Amino acid sequence: MSVKAACAVVLLLVVVPMAAFTAGCASRTPQTPPAPPPAEAFEAGRKAYEQGDFAQAATLFAAADTPQAKVYLGQSLTRDAAKKAFAAYEAALRADPGQGDAMEAMGLLLANQGETAQAKPWLIKAGTTGGLSPEALLRLGDIFLAEGNCREALAAYDKAAAPQVGYAPAVRRLEAVRGLCGGKAALASGQGKAARNGATEADPAAGLYGQGTKSGRTGASQTPAKQKPGPKTIDLNDI
């Protein structure tokens, strides 16, 4: 056998096994499963959404790619982000149960989701611990107002609208709610006058936020003063 023929044989012996090995590898490469039909993807997405698996629901709604699925996609993404934020706040409170910022953030997150019954105690506890931001005061005031509790609603709005804070949405809300709540507006008006006169503490009888500290942060008592109930329901969209 010539040298040239011998080299060809050796080359053939090398190439054939390599080709077989490559073919074997290619056959083992996982194939991406085909996307389910839009109707199936949508129904599977709804099931995942109802089970609280918002990440999977978002994937399925994106695959469905219908106008209705796009709406659910947006809701899934929002709920997934809220779920992750909620877990982060819970972790912060496990590490430091007195973390007022985490309490306030938890309350605002729940309020934004419409879970006002759960949001309220978090916001009150945050106020007791170290105070509330003007935004949180506004949201808590809205919760009180929806319950018909004019005294506490006005006190919360007034705190956020005080000159040293001057939160514009609270100023607008305060003016509107004074008319809705009638005589109970006198309570918040008295607090506002005290703040404008440089008082460092509000009247203790002035509702949940009448226990303000000298730092101007909002405090909260555990037992609100007895009062005549305000309007049972107030539509905040009317303000």
Tell me the average pLDDT of the chain.
75
Percent of the chain past pLDDT 90, that is, above it, reads 52
Topology of the domain comprising 97-238: 1.25.40
At residue 33, the pLDDT reads 65
Contact of 120 with 98, CB cutoff 8 Å = no
pLDDT tens track for 49-62: 999 999 999 999 99
The single residue listed with the structure tokens 């107030």 is 234
Residue 128 pLDDT greater than 60, yes or no: yes
At residue 29, the pLDDT reads 57
Q: Residues 8, 12, 17, CA angle at the centre, nearest 5°? A: 160
Pick the closest to residue 85 from 120, 112, 114, 48 (CA basis): 112
HSE-CB for 55 with a 13 A CA cutoff: 3
Q: How confident is the model at residue 130 (pLDDT cuts 50, 70, 90)?
A: confident
Indicate the pTM of the whole model.
0.65
Residue 94 pLDDT greater than 90, yes or no: yes
Mean pLDDT of 142-157: 93
At residue 129, the pLDDT reads 86
Where do the CATH 1.25.40.10 domains begin and end in the chain?
97-238
